[in-house]
Amino acid sequence: MNPAIRDWTGQRVWVIGASTGIGAETARQLLAKGARVALSARRAEPLQEIADGKPTALVATLDITDHATVLAARDQILQAWQGIDLVLVIAGGYNEMRADTFDLAKVNQLIDLNLRGVFNCLDAVLPGLLAQGSGGIGIVASVAGFSGLPKALIYGPTKAALINLSESLYLDVHPRGLAVYLINPGFVETPMTAVNDFKMPALISAGTAAGSLIEGLEAGDFHIHFPKRFTNWVRLARLLPYRWYFPLVRKVTGL
């Protein structure tokens, strides 16, 4: 559904959310493949650690919830590279929330980070990509966006919105020469999942996740999901009637 990427050499890739987890490992692996990689997140120190000694790396700090800093980072990249070929919006967060711990302030905070932040990034890059008629945008959602899950009262809806956004975006921009990648990880060993106190089936390392993400980009897949032994199971389970699906989710998660 997207053009295959056969050679990363010289590709200008902007990784937003590159300080830890999947984003950091994706940046490292793309640099190793010869891509030019702009690393963005709020904290400069972990970005600089990845970039040190790599002439094809560029550090551009931002706060995804602050539109002005996203635009400033974009301008810094364009000044250095005169263009961007691929934008990967990996930044995001998680707040455990159930009905008896509902907190509107935390709801709004996660909507700003997981949803409005992505729109801030789209506003920064869509005009340029459309004007050049080539390039791509990858958005990291989650299998939690496939269906309702325990403790995901706000996290799940933000990720479901990103799935819908990616599908709508593909329909709009693919005819105009742009690639769109919907990236749905399962459970990945990151600082975000370290707080979970429930079963995490098929948990994989951030390095393994990044490798699967890049393989999906190279293949030109629209829907990149991993690990497939878990994500395919979730997709099939979601087709069950609710009277079977809800008990199954409780059994698998232990919640």
| Model pLDDT for residues 2-52, shown as the tens digit of each residue | 999 999 999 999 999 999 999 999 999 999 999 999 999 999 999 999 999
> What percent of the chain is predicted at pLDDT more than 90?
78
Q: Please give the mean pLDDT across all residues of the chain.
A: 93
Predicted confidence at residue 72, as pLDDT, reads: 98
pLDDT band, residue 188 (cuts 50/70/90): confident
Model pLDDT for residues 135-167, shown as the tens digit of each residue? 999 999 999 899 888 888 999 999 999 999 999
Torsion of CA 237, 242, 243, 247, to 10 degrees: 50
DSSP H or E segment with residue 16: strand 12-16
Nearest Cα to Cα of residue 126 among 140, 136, 115, 141: 136
- How far is residue 110's CA from residue 114's CA, in Å, rounded to a whole number? 6
- How far is residue 151's CA from residue 138's CA, in Å, rounded to a whole number? 26
Predicted confidence at residue 63, as pLDDT, reads: 98
Predicted confidence at residue 195, as pLDDT, reads: 63
Model pLDDT for residues 210-225, shown as the tens digit of each residue? 999 999 999 999 999 9
Predicted confidence at residue 192, as pLDDT, reads: 65
Nearest Cα to Cα of residue 139 among 172, 92, 95: 92
pLDDT band, residue 61 (cuts 50/70/90): very high
- How far is residue 51's CA from residue 127's CA, in Å, rounded to a whole number? 28
Kindly tell me if the per-residue pLDDT of 198 is higher than 70: no
Model pLDDT for residues 84-112, shown as the tens digit of each residue? 999 999 999 988 899 999 999 999 999 99
